[in-house]
Structure formats: structure tokens, C-alpha cells
Amino acid sequence: MDALLIGQNWELKLIDNVADSIRRSKWLDGDQKIGILQLSYEYSGLFAQVLAHRLTLTGVPMPIEPVDIPYKNEFEVVLHPDKLDPYHKLIVLDSGCLTGGNFTRIRSQLYNYGYRPQDLIFVCLACSTESFFTPDHCPLYFDGRASIVHFWWECKRPSLIDMYRNDENVYRFKVFECVLGS
């Protein structure tokens, strides 16, 4: 299986695309009580931080509530309702969406807590065409049967990190769809 490696510059372009897409959707208009629900501490931190700054309506970054997402069957996902009480709307984000399981489980819990579908948007940077969940905003879809997504910060081989860090033209993979323009 080939690796779809997303370098640092490309990741930032993808985040900018998600921010622009959310702004154009008018979903942010009128409501100041919006939070970001960050799925997984280790994998989505950069995405959440940059998006919180890009989407600010007041000059103060949007608040971020991280959720610890387990590896398969490691533990049950727990959302703490008291942490969600201040927010009328949530941007639920995960860097990558392979199967859609994380988004599906979290959406169910948020619905059970009282959020309505229009109160939530689900965003990611890269989504497999094999996912049974379709995010509201995602700039990159890839063939999940032929490749797996890897971000520059999870690569263990420094030579690969250096090779891909500044040049997104070196990627060799099949991308189903990539939207980077306005």
C-alpha cells in the first residue's frame, strides 16, 4: 500500500482551505459561542490550533476542547458535557478520516447530548474514499484501497521528512480529489 505523505507546507494549505470553506458557508455568521472539538490530542493539535486562529471572529482564537480518541478497542470515548455547555455550535475536527468511525461515534454522542445537525460541522484535511462518513469540509480525498495517509509529523524517517517538507510536487499517489483554490 502506498503512502500519501502530507508535508508541512501542504498541511497548512489544506488547513487554510478548510478555514476558507467554513467562512464561505456562512455557518459562523451570527453566533459567537462556537468551539472546536479536537479529536485526538496527538494527531489533530496543529490543525485545531491553526484553525482556531484562522476562524476567530473577535481576535481571540476559538476555544478548543480536545477529546482523547482510543486506538481500536482501547477504551470508550467520553465527552464531558460540562466542557461543552458554553458552546451553541461545534466544529468537530480530525486530521484524517480513514473509516469514519471517530466522527460517527462522536456525532452520536453529541446528538444524544442535545446538539442538532445544524449545530455541528465535521472537518478533516484528508479523507479516504472508503470512509462511510462524509465530512462537511475536506479538501483532499484519496483512494483508501491503494494508499494510506501520513502527515509529516508522524514520519519516523528524517530523510523522508526532509525530502517532503518543502516540496509537495514529489508526491506519487492517486488522489481522488484535491481542492486548494478559492
- For residue 171, the model assigns a pLDDT of 42
Beta carbons of 25 and 55 less than 8 angstroms apart: no
H/E stretch holding 39 reads strand 34-39
CB 36 within 8 A of CB 49: no
pLDDT at 156: 64
How much is the pLDDT for 73?
Answer: 64
Q: Which pLDDT value is given to residue 149?
A: 85
Phi, psi of 125 (to 5 degrees): -95, -35
- DSSP, res 137: B
Closest Cα partner for 57 from 82, 85, 89, 84?
89
Per-residue pLDDT of the chain (182 residues; tens, 9 = 90+): 677 888 889 999 999 999 999 999 999 987 679 999 999 877 889 999 999 999 987 889 999 998 877 666 655 677 777 889 999 999 999 999 999 988 998 999 999 999 999 999 999 999 999 999 999 999 999 998 888 888 887 776 544 444 444 444 444 444 444 555 44
Closest CA to 178 of 132, 134, 143: 143
- Contacts of residue 112, Cβ cutoff 8 Å, sequence gap at least 6: none
Q: Is the CATH number of domain 2-178 3.40.50.2020?
A: yes
Q: What is the pLDDT of residue 30?
A: 79
